[in-house]
Structure 1
């Protein structure tokens, strides 16, 4: 993996609770809170310069802006929700470009598992555990935060174990 194992460990300390919160709030209310997305970006802005070489930090930070612009365009085209676009932008600095193919594989696997788990829970008595969650009654819409948050956390866990 191209991402630093040491940096991944530092980031994980702060990001695991935030990633889980993203999944929970998207399930519960079909939204990813701005405060959570800002916190994810702030963790990188504050911890990144301490654990990454400065030129790597700057490039990774630039990815936030690039993904944010792409996300705004995708949201305007109706391809993705605004919260999903903001989360992707905030998460972008944590991804090394050399790991992009691996990230796609991780995201695909997590998305399939999250979708299956959500649909199974939605149409079985498991739904009674949280009967008031908005995600149950959204028709074909799916709370992507349920896949996005765990994808970032899992990527960083792998980077912590196998990174440079």
Structure 2
């Protein structure tokens, strides 16, 4: 079952502020705070009861478990941060299995745009506006929340585009 406008209209208003906060905090501190991940999960747990048919709602918890296990493996291998893995796991129930290729395309685009925007901002007056952000000085790490948050928001907005 694909994302329906009904489900998207229920999830989008609650998910958007959380995703904006995640992007901001990851840029500022290079961390995705656990309360934001818990809030994202709580939105699915509560709003999902209204937004999705009950059988679909229950099956979407499998998405969370699978994403969490994959994320834990990637984190153990040093490929992704723990916050990124937890955020993806909390976001996974919002995504319909039939939309995996769509979410992959959205993520690839968001990652490229986020990387480019971050690099441009790092070398312009924007950096002087936020001089204490940790993401400016990290050599190897990138604030993935800057791409992960917008990916979920854009995915939930697609039925309206």
Q: Secondary structure at the match of 1:103?
A: helix
Q: Which has the higher contact order (CA 8 A, sep 6+)?
A: 1
- The correspondence of residues 132-147 of structure 1 with structure 2, limited to 5 A, is 132-147=132-147
Which residue of 2 is the match for residue 105 of structure 1? Answer: 105
Q: Secondary structure at 1:80's aligned position in 2?
A: coil
2 CA distance for matches of 1:126 and 1:63?
A: 37
- TM-score after normalising by structure 2: 0.97
Once superposed, what is the RMSD of the aligned Cα atoms? 1.1
Q: If the length of structure 1 is used for normalisation, what is the TM-score?
A: 0.95
TM superposition outliers: structure 1 runs of 4+ over 4 Å: none
Q: Distance in 2 between matches of 1:51 and 1:157?
A: 14
1:109-154 superposed Cα distances (whole Å, 9 cap, x missing partner): 1110100010111122321010100000001210000000010000
Task: Name the count of aligned residue pairs.
Answer: 161
Superposition pairs of residues 51-90 of structure 1, within 5 angstroms: 51-90=51-90
Contact 2:71–2:86 (CA under 8 A) maintained in structure 1: yes
Q: Distance in 1 between matches of 2:93 and 2:115?
A: 26
Q: Distance in 2 between matches of 1:148 and 1:51?
A: 22
Q: Which residue of 2 aligns with 1:11?
A: 11
Gaps of 5+ in 2: none
Contact 2:11 2:51 in 1 (8 A): no
Shift of 1:97: 0.8
